[in-house]
Amino acid sequence: MTTTAKYYTKGPRKHPIDLIVMHTMESQELKGVAKRVAAWFGGKTAPQASAHLTIDNVDLVSVVDEQDIAWHADEWNTNQRSLGIELSGQASQTTAQWADAYSTAMLDLAAKQVASWCKKYNIPVVKLTPAQVKAGGKGICGHVDVTNAFAIKGGHTDPGKNFPWDSFIALVQKYHG
């Protein structure tokens, strides 16, 4: 795979991958948004940020190679040991919005990918708390958990307080086998 992001750190990594961080793109839930955000990460107006994948209800787009370090979690040590996924949607979504047909299809794609990474890198299929993230725990978390773990001022709240963690982790466990 060729990395398309403008801002990332070329591997090899010095730390093993043992954490997956979930984000939201802060975009509308639209078909094709994963491709558009992936292109934005590599374009002229790219933010000084990146992710390994962007996902919408149809597409899963590689942005940064797994062995390279995406700039996605506002905390360098976390970035060095993690993989970041940007989901279409917003941190402000309601429980009902996370359960609509678009989000359900997107979360299914994301769960398959997360399960694959968990198998590949021997990452436990568990949702980590901020304290567990700070302590170097292995598993899955949201960007908000990194923000809270390291008391990052002005940090992120994604994927949001209504993100369906229980059902998402159950779906990852289903695909993990």
What are the DSSP calls for 30-97, one per residue?
A: -TTHHHHHHHHHHSTT--S---SEEE-SS-EEE-S-TTSEE--SSSHHHHHHEEEEEESS-TT--HHH
Q: What is the pTM of this model?
A: 0.97
Residue 168 burial by Cβ neighbours in a 10 Å radius (0-12, 13-18, 19+): buried
For 82, the token pair is 């993690």
For 29, the token pair is 């839930």
User: What mean pLDDT, rounded, does the chain reach?
Assistant: 96
Span 63-100, pLDDT tens digits: 999 999 999 998 999 999 999 999 999 999 999 999 99
Span 107-135, pLDDT tens digits: 999 999 999 999 999 999 999 999 999 99
